[in-house]
Structure 1
Amino acid sequence: MKALFVWLACFVCTTSAFAGNADTVKLKQHLLAITGTAQPRNHQHTDALNQVAAYIRHEFEQLNGQVQEQVYTVAGKEYRNVIFSAGPADAPRLVVGAHYDVCEDQPGADDNASGVAGLLELARLLNTHTLPFRIDFVAYTLEEPPYFRTEHMGSYVHANSLYEQQAKLMGMISLEMIGYFKDEKGTQRYPLAPMKLLYGSRGNYIAVVQRFGNGSFGRSMLRNYKKAATLPVKSLRAPAFVTGVDFSDHLNYWRFGFDALMITDTSFYRNSNYHQPTDTIHTLDFKRMGEVVDAVYTSILKLP
Structure 2
Amino acid sequence: MFHCPIRLLFVGALLVSTLFCTNGMAAQLPAADTAQLRRHLVALTTTPQPRNYLHEASLNQAADYIKAELAAAGAHPTEQSYQVQGRMYQNILSSFGPVDGPRLVIGAHYDVCGEQPGADDNGTGVAALLELARLLGHQPLTCRVDLVAYTLEEPPFFRTPQMGSYVHARSLHEAGVPVRGMIALEMLGYYDDRKNSQDYPFKPLRWLYGSRGNYVTVAQKFGNGRFGRRFARLYKKTAALPVKRFKAPAWLPGIDFSDHLNYWHFDYPAVLLTDTAFYRNKQYHEAADTLDRLDLRRLALAVDAVLATVVRLATE
TM-score normalised to structure 1 length: 0.93
Q: Is the 8 A contact 1:210 1:245 kept in 2?
A: yes
Which residue pairs with 2:185 in the alignment? 175
Which residue pairs with 1:9 in the alignment? none
**Code of the aligned partner of 2:191:** F
> How many residue pairs are counted as aligned between the two chains?
286
Q: Does 1:142 align with 2:155?
A: no
Query: Aligned partners of 2:179, 2:194: CA distance in 1, in Å?
Result: 40
Query: Aligned partners of 1:259, 1:99: CA distance in 2, in Å?
Result: 18
Which residue pairs with 1:240 in the alignment? 250
| Identity within the alignment, % | 56
CA apart distance, 1:130: 1.4
Q: Does 1:108 align with 2:118?
A: yes
Q: Does 1:93 align with 2:111?
A: no
Q: Is the 8 A contact 1:20 1:290 kept in 2?
A: no
Which residue pairs with 1:161 in the alignment? 171
Q: Does 1:297 align with 2:297?
A: no
Q: Which moved more, 1:183-192 or 1:56-65?
A: 56-65
Q: 1:185 aligns with which of 170, 195, 198?
A: 195
After TM superposition, the structure 1 = structure 2 runs for residues 38-77 of structure 1, keeping only pairs within 5 Å, are 38-77=48-87
Unmatched tracts of structure 2, length 5 or more: 1-28
CA apart distance, 1:65: 3.0
Q: Does 1:201 align with 2:211?
A: yes
Q: Is the 8 A contact 1:65 1:86 kept in 2?
A: yes
**Code of the aligned partner of 2:221:** R
Based on CA coordinates, which of the two structures has the bigger radius of gyration?
A: 2
Describe the SS at the equivalent of 1:302: helix
Query: Aligned partners of 1:154, 1:123: CA distance in 2, in Å?
Result: 20
Query: Aligned partners of 1:296, 1:63: CA distance in 2, in Å?
Result: 17
Describe the SS at the equivalent of 1:299: helix
CA apart distance, 1:286: 0.3
Q: 1:253 aligns with which of 263, 272, 286?
A: 263
Q: Does 1:227 align with 2:237?
A: yes
**Code of the aligned partner of 1:108:** G
CA apart distance, 1:216: 1.1
Query: Aligned partners of 2:74, 2:241: CA distance in 1, in Å?
Result: 31
Which residue pairs with 1:11 in the alignment? none
Q: Is the 8 A contact 2:93 2:148 kept in 1?
A: yes
CA offsets per residue over residues 218-275 of structure 1, 9 Å max, x none? 1111111011101110011011111000000000000000000000000000000000
Q: Does 1:276 align with 2:286?
A: yes
Q: Does 1:31 align with 2:48?
A: no
Query: Aligned partners of 1:44, 1:222: CA distance in 2, in Å?
Result: 36
Which residue pairs with 1:122 in the alignment? 132
CA apart distance, 1:186: 0.5
Describe the SS at the equivalent of 2:67: helix
**Code of the aligned partner of 1:131:** L
CA apart distance, 1:63: 2.5
CA apart distance, 1:90: 1.1
Unmatched tracts of structure 1, length 5 or more: 1-18
Describe the SS at the equivalent of 2:72: coil
Query: Aligned partners of 1:47, 1:239: CA distance in 2, in Å?
Result: 39
Query: Aligned partners of 1:86, 1:154: CA distance in 2, in Å?
Result: 21
Which residue pairs with 2:12 in the alignment? none
**Code of the aligned partner of 1:242:** L
Q: Does 1:287 align with 2:315?
A: no
Q: Is the 8 A contact 2:96 2:136 kept in 1?
A: no
Describe the SS at the equivalent of 1:207: strand
**Code of the aligned partner of 2:87:** K
CA apart distance, 1:85: 1.2
Q: Is the 8 A contact 2:91 2:148 kept in 1?
A: yes
CA apart distance, 1:64: 2.4
**Code of the aligned partner of 1:21:** A
* 1:202–1:285 Cα change, 3 Å: same
Q: Is the 8 A contact 2:199 2:280 kept in 1?
A: yes
